[in-house]
């Protein structure tokens, strides 16, 4: 049996979720069974990647409420992260997928909405050996990096916001 990789895309730059999405599509292109459990972001359907996934019939579970750094209702945000982790656990043990992306999941650990060691311990005990798991987000905890097989840090070298260019539909979201 092949060992499924635990992949972490972290850092302050672009491309963490986008690379996870690209990996998902690559896997889908080979006929693997894939899904996304998306933390933080809300189900507005305004995201290009969700539109693409819908077109492709890829399972995509949004669990967030559109949390931003100015969110007022942190109780709701935390409750959604905890509920999202329950969704993720269910998908992980389901046997229905070869590749699962937990998008923006690092925040739940970084902000201690979930206990990092409990998450890692659960994964060590319950993740099917052959399942590939991709986790994205800034500030990946050290315990997660230790547990992961493949960790990439995306670093912002130059960003158009610096030049006053706004984010554009279809490119950055």
Q: Give Cα separations from 56 to 41, 50, 77, 143 (angstroms).
A: 20, 10, 29, 34
Q: Does 9 bind a copy of itself (CB under 8 A)?
A: yes
Q: Does 48 bind a copy of itself (CB under 8 A)?
A: yes
DSSP H or E segment with residue 22: helix 16-29
> Which span sits near a copy of itself by CB under 8 A: 63-71, 103-111, 119-127, 161-169?
161-169
For the CA atoms of 68, 41, 83, 103, what is the dihedral angle to 10 degrees? -110
In whole angstroms, what is the distance from residue 109 CA to residue 120 CA? 10
> Which span sits near a copy of itself by CB under 8 A: 67-75, 86-94, 116-124, 156-164?
156-164
In whole angstroms, what is the distance from residue 65 CA to residue 42 CA? 4
In whole angstroms, what is the distance from residue 52 CA to residue 125 CA? 33
If the CB atoms of residues 42 and 78 are measured against a copy of itself, the closer one turns out to be 42
If the CB atoms of residues 26 and 90 are measured against a copy of itself, the closer one turns out to be 26
Q: Does 96 bind a copy of itself (CB under 8 A)?
A: no
Interacting residues with a copy of itself (CB under 8 A): 2-3, 5, 7-11, 13-30, 32, 47-56, 98-99, 132, 145, 148-160, 163, 165, 168-171, 173
């Amino acid at each position: 049996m092949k060992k499924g990789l635990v992949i972490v895309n972290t850092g302050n730059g672009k491309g963490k979720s986008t690379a996870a999405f690209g990996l998902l599509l690559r896997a889908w292109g080979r006929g693997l069974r894939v899904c996304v459990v998306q933390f933080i972001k809300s189900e507005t359907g305004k995201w290009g990647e969700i539109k693409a996934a819908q077109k492709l019939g890829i399972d995509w579970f949004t669990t967030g409420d559109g949390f931003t750094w100015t969110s007022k209702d942190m109780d709701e945000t935390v409750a959604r992260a905890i509920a999202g982790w329950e969704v993720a656990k269910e998908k992980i043990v389901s046997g229905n997928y070869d590749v699962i992306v937990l998008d923006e999941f690092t925040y739940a650990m970084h902000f201690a909405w979930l206990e990092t060691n409990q998450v890692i311990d659960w994964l060590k005990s319950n993740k099917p050996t052959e399942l590939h798991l991709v986790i994205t987000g800034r500030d990946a905890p050290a315990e997660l990096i230790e547990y992961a097989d493949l960790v990439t840090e995306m670093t912002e070298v130059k960003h158009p916001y610096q030049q006053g260019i706004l984010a554009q539909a279809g490119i950055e979201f």
